[in-house]
Amino acid sequence: MQGESVCVLAARKLRREAPGVRLAIRPWLLSLLVLLLPCTRAVAECVAPAALTRSTVSISRYFDDDERSAASSLHGIRGTAWFLSPTSMVTAEHVVVAMGLSHQNWKQVEVLASESKQSMDVRILHIAGFHSEKVALLELRKPFPDATRLHIRLQPLTPEERVVSLAFPGNRLRFAGGRFVEYGDRDKLAGTALLEMYDGDDRLVLDHGASGAPVLDCEGRVVAVVSNIFTRTMQFPFRAIRISTAWGSPNIVSVPIQGGQSSRRNCSENRFVGQCHSRHRGRNEAVRVRRLSLEGLCGFQRYAARRESIAQRDDQLWGEGAWRLSSLVRFVFLPFLLGSSLAFRCSLWDS
């Protein structure tokens, strides 16, 4: 660690220059090392969310006149999504429901990255989760350029574990840090992960528009998806003010990738899960096909990566085949035709 090496060098310098005060300085220096080193290690070990800006985007869908009348005069819906592959992204289920997206029909949404904005056709590929809070897997008709895929962690969160997030509240990129508090186990919070997230003194950093944002561990792996925020409104004579929860208590509701103990440690040890748990198998086939467990996202990521690799290989083979065909035409077929034509003309001349 850089901080540790600086402290060690300073200690050695003091020992060389002032051997008489070595015993007096040593307790103070030891206390300083104890205070500084954990902070230095913690900062160095956690991923910086700013390095993952190409992995997360803002998605917006604007309603036409017919949809607007049926949507209580809303002009549109906005949320945050992150890439599982260049042709698939994940967001909160209530975002896609509010947008009116479909499993069958492609619908156009505006995708805003940190440096670009474009319209893309998307549709719902799967819904993941079996509690009230779920996530949605969206399919893109064409790959998103320069998309950075995020990887999923299957290990459950541990109390006080540090987490970070990046989102687009208000269509503006924001970063947040914080900690995991506990798993929700009652009423509507069953199956959720409760977090305390903030940016400095701002506890509303993951406000409206942040639903669907990834929550990352210190290695940059997705451990949960932002779903809701705890707030309350204080009424004043001239306006109402929304405030967050008290410091030291959770303020974010998220959907965890893994809510219990798991022996799997990474995506390479997981299988694609495309069916309901045993208690859901009595439901109809359409639900069984469309719904998968949150761990199934990990398996789908492997499937998407394999499909992308096959497509790249096919493109490479097609390119090599086209080059060989063009070489055959240029160096064999065309000279043969030219020679045949010259021979035919010479035969006519001789006759």
Nearest alpha-carbon partner for 130 in 295, 264, 298, 285: 295
Fold of 46-351: Thrombin, subunit H (2.40.10)
Whole-model pTM: value is: 0.68
Residue ranges of E strands in the chain:
56-62, 76-85, 88-92, 107-112, 117-128, 135-140, 162-167, 174-183, 193-198, 214-216, 222-229, 232-235, 240-243, 252-256, 291-292
Per-residue pLDDT of the chain (351 residues; tens, 9 = 90+): 344 444 444 444 444 444 444 434 455 444 544 444 444 333 446 888 888 889 999 999 998 877 766 556 678 899 999 999 999 999 999 999 999 999 999 999 999 997 789 999 999 998 988 788 899 999 999 999 888 999 999 899 999 999 999 999 989 999 999 999 999 988 788 889 999 999 999 999 999 999 999 999 999 999 999 999 999 888 888 888 889 999 999 999 999 987 654 434 444 433 333 333 333 333 333 333 344 556 556 665 665 556 566 655 655 666 666 666 766 666 666 676 766 666 655 565 555
Domain ranges of the chain: 2-45, 46-351
